[in-house]
Structure 1
Amino acid sequence: MKTTTRRRGIATLAGAAALTLVLTACGADDLDGGTGGDTAAGEETSGSDGPDCSAFEEYGTFDGETVSLFSSIRETEADQLQDTFADFTECTGITVQHNGSGEFEQQIVVQAEGGNAPDLAVFPQPGLLARMVADGHVIPAPEAVEANVDEGWSADWKAYGTIDGKFYAAPLMASVKSFVWYSPSAFADGGYEVPTTWDELMTVTEDIAASGATPWCAGIESGGATGWPATDWIEDMVLREAGGDVYDQWIAHEIPFDDPQIVAATDRAGSILKNDEYVNGGIGDSRSIATTSFNDGGLPILDGECFMHRQASFYEAQWPEGTDVSESGDVFAFYLPGQTADEKPLLTGGEFVGAFNDNDATQAVQAFMSSGEWANTRVEIGGVTSANKAVDASLASSDVLRLAIELLQDEGAVARFDGSDLMPSEVGAGSFWTGMTKWIDGADTQSVLAEIEASWPAS
């Protein structure tokens, strides 16, 4: 999901849960010098029944300490997140207690302002992170974390976790959002080709609708974050309708939210999302998108009730266990086309880990989560991608995710980070989400965008 996502997300990308392993600690006491490496975390020593704890020595030894971690990550992804700490806990003695909430964006503010902040939080929006820093809640990242980020991430990714020249939060997972999930067999049976331009995409859409089937399915309900999947649609359309320079001006508020170019981009998204002939396959009419869970939005593809679902690479985690995600399988994904086959603007998203205290155990977990070891462990578990340079793309759980990792690691790619995540949180995680929900529910484009424009903070 935005992660929301993050994932929105990233969502995404998952209920409250805790990892409570009380295990033997091993390792050294020095945290400062560690920058991680490329060896997958938890690699077992030959002949051993447990993990190779040498991979965790830099994080120190702790006696039964617990570090709380708060995020928007729930359900399957929450279980997968917890799995990444199993060997870390055995080797350091630190129990990571994770709580995932669909109300993360609201609750993290309430908890911090009430003096009840977690040790660490996974922020799907740099804008919300900036707010927590400005309010004095999130503290600068320790040297070990910054060293890991300098080694494993591009300057652009580090900049998203940097506020007023000071580094606060390391990137965690990353995603490519410009994907369309589809059924290869349904396309083959209908004689439809994977489109490579926007006009071809609309032709496929029209042909499917003319056959009596419903081309698209979607869902934007996500608890307190309801509306974020629709903002991703708008951002992808701004890139295709107006280009990267206008996109940059839009998220920086150098042009108003209701600029004619943004109106046109929103109407382009509406040509699909607000057309009852095109949506919402297997669920209802276009307004049903507002009440359909993000998690469930694409599942009608598996039942042949819709053909396409625009959603990020992290949506792979939502397919039921046993789903064959491959070019000849149950579902696969293609790049959301640009105006021409040569134009490939890429919308990306990610999450960032910020700390509310400088306790040694908190810093140890924060450092581990910023390392190449953690990134490879999480990618190998499945369902996600990372832009960490240490990640081995061959560990990804599907060809879609391998492609996403290659795109994320391509230094020449023309990419833009999720716009709502970069906007002030009052807009990006507030009026933009609620405005898009009203828009899906029938409100007109101009009035919704004007309302969002009026909500932009004065300073």
Structure 2
Amino acid sequence: MRRPAKTARRTALTAATALVLALTATACGGGTTGPASGGELSGQTVTVAGVWTGSEQKNFKKVLDAFTAKTGAKTVFVPSGDNVSTFVGSKIEGGNAPDVVMVPQVGVLKQFAKEGWLQPLSEEAAKTAGDTLAPVWRTYGTVDGTYYGLYFKAAHKSTVWYAPDAFTQAGVTEPTSYADLLKTGRTLADSGRPAFAIAGEDGWTLTDWFENIYLSQAGPEKYDQLAQHQIKWTDDSVVRALTTLGELFKDKQLVAGGAQTALQTDFPTSVEHVFGPQPKAGMVYEGDFVGGVAKDQFGKTPGKDAKFFPFPAVDGGKAPVVSGGDAAVVLKQGKNPKAGMELLEFLAGPEAAAIWAGAGGFLSPNGKVDPAAYADDTTRSTARSLVEAGDSVRFDMSDQAPAAFGGTKGAGEWKILQDFLRDPSDPQGTAAKLEAEAAKAYGN
């Protein structure tokens, strides 16, 4: 995250609208929040860079407003665009680095740390984070034993969204196992609406399908090993997961319009195919952000006419909880890293997260956030599920990988899984292709 398609999957805006907003924000030099009178940081400025556009950027600025009111610091938000690594590198080279960056990929955070760009979290920020976050989030923010990244915003990527009217018409209920999920999908198709709208044009959605199946089927230990390329993609567990995924991909009852249609469908369109005015499928798998798109774009009310159930357990394993998230880091090269660290200390507590939770379109991994802070029961339930998963949460595997393998359009894992969607007849051959690309990207 946040490759071009990843931005699309996280925002409730269409791609075109998001682009216009991003360009507008960039042309205006980003948003600013003026200082309150007095305050320990009065007269100082903190510059924050992040991928957020549209409503996400607007709501994050509410958090920055609260920091300003508390400390007196002026804040400036600068849109980074999708390629955070390139943006930050160019800013450092030009002597105009932001103080704080919201990093959307574990792999990018590791890259920044290895470049020597990051300041370790202060003792206060680390202590607060230790009191509010499950240890797994510290692990994902740590590089070579040093804690750099504070996870502030999260995504719950183990939710399957559906149109209740389609389920009612087909006479089906929410499935509790993967086998039941496929059975439910075929019953939906028999009633006149294919099972899944799959956004195959956006390769990242296919990695998410694989990751949920793999985590449940192979277990967290294998998942961690594969994420670090400590086992090869030719491992039997990978072939088994691809075989399971292939059963879905090859079934035209389950893939709305078949593979060819799926490969021409991006993420926002996949949501439209379930919740738009002319529905073409009964379900769409993706993260909690589906509910925001259904609400903002198609007027659906999450929990009423846009519902979800947890991604079900596969072959007797545990139900998976795959997450993504944005970590706040402080750059050494920023003009005011000390004030930047004070912002991170603020973000580590529940107050900052509660502000965005109330505005909507947000999940926090912070266990101290009052569930009542969330604006609706559906988001509240999703947030509770994420927090209660504790250390069983696993970060999006492709976001942990080098971008050349896990995050590049038309290359690596994205392209290979798109090819597998087109022809899922050879799981073993697909695993071999994945391993060849992973070996090049990881350098081993």
Query: What TM-score, normalized by structure 2, do the two folds share?
Result: 0.83
Which of the numbers 27, 37, 58 marks the counterpart of 1:25?
37
CA contact (8 A) 2:50 2:78 kept: yes
Which protein is richer in helix relative to its size? 2
1:300 is matched with which residue? 273
Q: How many residues matched?
A: 416
- CA-based RMSD: 2.9
Are 2:301 and 1:324 aligned?
A: yes
Structure-1 separation of matches of 2:109 and 2:186: 42
Sort the Cα spacing of 1:200 and 1:144 in 2 relative to 1 into closer, same or farther, 3 A. same
1:98 is matched with which residue? 78
Instruction: Return the letter of the residue paired with 1:196.
Output: T
Per the alignment, in what secondary structure is the counterpart of residue 189 of structure 2?
helix
**What is the CA-CA distance between 1:99 and the residue it aligns to?**
0.6
CA contact (8 A) 1:131 1:425 kept: no
**What is the CA-CA distance between 1:238 and the residue it aligns to?**
0.6
Sort the Cα spacing of 1:294 and 1:187 in 2 relative to 1 into closer, same or farther, 3 A. same
Structure-2 separation of matches of 1:412 and 1:248: 16
Pick which of 240-249 and 381-390 moved more.
240-249
Structural mapping, 1:178-189, within 5 Å: 178-189=158-169
Are 2:142 and 1:162 aligned?
A: yes
CA contact (8 A) 1:6 1:12 kept: no
2:59 is matched with which residue? 80
**What is the CA-CA distance between 1:204 and the residue it aligns to?**
0.9
Pick which of 410-419 and 231-240 moved more.
410-419
Are 2:395 and 1:417 aligned?
A: yes
Sort the Cα spacing of 1:245 and 1:323 in 2 relative to 1 into closer, same or farther, 3 A. same
Structure-1 separation of matches of 2:155 and 2:132: 16
**What is the CA-CA distance between 1:263 and the residue it aligns to?**
2.3
Deviations 1:32-61 (A, max 9, x none): xxxxxxxxxxxxxxxxxxxxxxxxxxxx32
Pick which of 248-257 and 286-295 moved more.
286-295
Which of the numbers 105, 129, 136 marks the counterpart of 1:149?
129
Structure-2 separation of matches of 1:382 and 1:7: 19
Structural mapping, 1:275-424, within 5 Å: 275-280=251-256, 285-302=258-275, 303=277, 304-321=279-296, 322-326=299-303, 329-339=304-314, 343-357=318-332, 359=336, 360-410=338-388, 414-424=392-402
Are 2:235 and 1:259 aligned?
A: yes
Instruction: Return the letter of the residue paired with 2:129.
Output: V
**What is the CA-CA distance between 1:294 and the residue it aligns to?**
2.3
Sort the Cα spacing of 1:242 and 1:217 in 2 relative to 1 into closer, same or farther, 3 A. same
Query: What TM-score, normalized by structure 1, do the two folds share?
Result: 0.81
CA contact (8 A) 2:166 2:193 kept: no
Segments of 5+ residues of structure 1 without an aligned counterpart are 30-59
Deviations 1:257-309 (A, max 9, x none): 132321221232233345444224xxx54234344332332122123321111
Structure-2 separation of matches of 1:251 and 1:9: 24
CA contact (8 A) 2:233 2:434 kept: yes
1:125 is matched with which residue? 105
CA contact (8 A) 1:295 1:318 kept: yes
Per the alignment, in what secondary structure is the counterpart of residue 20 of structure 1?
strand
Sort the Cα spacing of 1:274 and 1:125 in 2 relative to 1 into closer, same or farther, 3 A. farther
2:204 is matched with which residue? 228
Are 2:171 and 1:191 aligned?
A: yes
Sort the Cα spacing of 1:111 and 1:296 in 2 relative to 1 into closer, same or farther, 3 A. farther
Deviations 1:97-152 (A, max 9, x none): 23152344554455556655433222222122111110122222233322321221
Pick which of 14-23 and 258-267 moved more.
14-23
2:221 is matched with which residue? 245
CA contact (8 A) 2:33 2:75 kept: yes
2:116 is matched with which residue? 136
1:454 is matched with which residue? 439
